[in-house]
Every structure is written in structure tokens, then in C-alpha cells.
Structure 1
Amino acid sequence: MFFIPGVLISLATFPGVIVHELAHQFFCWLFNVPVFKVVYFKTGNPAGYVLHEKVSNKFQHIMISIGPFIVNTVLGAIIAFPAALPIFKLNNATPIDFVLIYMGVSIAMHAFPSTGDAKSIWDGLKDEDTSIAAKIFGYPIVGLIYAGTLGRFFWLDALYGIAVAVGLPNLLISILS
């Protein structure tokens, strides 16, 4: 493996960062949680963020935190799907097809929630009023987020983006044809 600074990766895959923050904001909107500030993209760490009111409902808190996993995965696959057939099966791709694959990969590779999201869930689960069900659901999610963060060192996020934007459409095309 080789090392590329996170700032360069964020610049190269900025659509994914923007969609990641939009996903957080969308789930805040979905649960009527006021948003105070959104930074969709900036150079530096973090590359973007959403500041919102503290959420007392633990399920909503978890969903806001993992919202990008859902939104970025689905949107990355949908955007890349129309380009998969001409690129990988028909060999008659246009430049727009390659742009769609790039967009799909960059969006899907930013699906993983951040360590800030994991810390937020962890802190919320430590509250005295947190139900056992929320803890049973939430603590494994925190562990998965941290495992995904460790996996970034081995390019797990990029591999996930490629799997979602290239592998999944190819699998669906093979099944449907």
C-alpha cells in the first residue's frame, strides 16, 4: 500500500464529501433536528461537517450518524449504474460514462461514517437514560465505524467505492442479462 495525504484524496473525491454531509443534513431534516451549521467541503480535517442540535432520541441520533452509509451507498450505485453497461459490457463508452463511474466511486467511498460520528454515538449511548436496545444496536455500530476507519489505511473505503459503483452494477447486469 502507499500513502496519499487525506487532503489530496478529499480533493480528488470531493463529490463524495459533499454527499456525505448532505446525508447527515437530510437525516436531521427527516427527524426535525435543527441544523446550526453545515460545511459541505473544505480542505483540511475534517473535510466537512454538520453541527446540529443534540438529539435525545438514540435511534435518531444513530441514524443521523450512519445516514451517509445509506445515502452514499445507494446514490453511488445509482449514479454509476447507467455507465456500467457501456463501459464494461458493450465497449462503447463515452466520456460521460467515465464521469459517472468516477462520481459513483467517489460518492460511495465516502459512505463510511467518521470517527467523529462514532464518538458522537458512543457519548450518546453512555447517557443514563439510554435503553438496552439502543446499546445493543449502537455499540456494534461504533465498533464497525472504528474498524472501517482502520480499514482506510488499507484503502477499504476506495475498495468499497469500487465495489458499489463498479461491482454491484456489473453483478446486476449479469443477473438481469
Structure 2
Amino acid sequence: SNSRQGDKLGWISSLIEESEHCDLHIKELLAARQTDYNSWSAMLLHDEECQAAAFKLLLLNNDLKRSNIVRQIKQVEQELVRLSSLELRKALLSMQYGSTKMLHQRKTLVELLRSLLSQKSEREQHLESWLDKMEDIHEGGREATDYWLIQYQRLMDVKPAGLINAEEQLEPSVV
């Protein structure tokens, strides 16, 4: 009985030692990862191309016109999926009623989708042109190494239109 208890205690203490060893190894790995992350972050902060790409991505994501077009595209796509589902059910039930109406709806939705995709492309080209002009200004003017980082921060500081409109409705003393 004492021998068995000793074996259990030895087994438990070896498990505890092994667990402590694993914990130490994990802590070392996490510290190494944090060091890698910090060095990558520092490098990215100084890499102008990465700063410009981050700014462009933020600009695309915050562009209200483009966002509205993308939202409308999703709505039209969902409506086309719904219409396809209805057409499939009608075909399975061998129903002819409303087929021309559905065909007309599909044509209208497809034309709307084409128009929205064209608008999205035009908007993205407009934004790219604007970004190219910013790049030309940056290259021709001051040589700030954090130019794109500053532009990114300025864009982050811009309030959304909805918030601006809501603030206009408030008493001046509240804002």
C-alpha cells in the first residue's frame, strides 16, 4: 500500500515537473513570438509601401459611395438567387404561370447588376486616380517618412457622415 502510494506520488510529481517544463517552453515560445511580432510591427511602421497599402485599404473600406454600391450589388445578387430558387421550384412543379414575368425580372436584375458593377469599377478607378495624385504630391513635396501613416490617421479621425448628421441635431452644449 505504501509502495503504491509512493508510486502514485512519484508519478504525480513527474507529471508536475513535466507540466512545469512544458509551461516554461510555451512561455519561451510566446516571448519569441512577441519579439518577432514587435520587430515586424516596427518594420511595417517604417515601410512606406505597407503604410500606403494600409491607407488604400482603409480608404476603400470607408468610402461611402463604394460601400453603398457594394451593398446594392449584394442585394441584387440575393434577389437573383431568390428568383432562381423560384424558377427551380416552378420547373419542378411543371408550372408555366408567371414565367415571362420572372424572365423580365431576371433581365432587369442582371442589367442592374451590370450597371452597379460598372459603377463600382468607376468609383475604384476614381479612388485610384486620387491616390496616384496623392502619391505625386508626396513624391514632389515633403519627404516625410511617415506620410502614409499620417494620412491613415487623418482618415481614421474623420467622423462618419451619420455621426456628423446626428451631432448636428444635438444642442451645441452637448457636442
TM-score of the two chains, using structure 1 as the length reference: 0.32
**Which has more radius of gyration?**
2
Higher helix share: 2
Structure ranking higher on relative contact order (CA contacts 8 Å, 6+ apart): 2
Higher strand share: 1
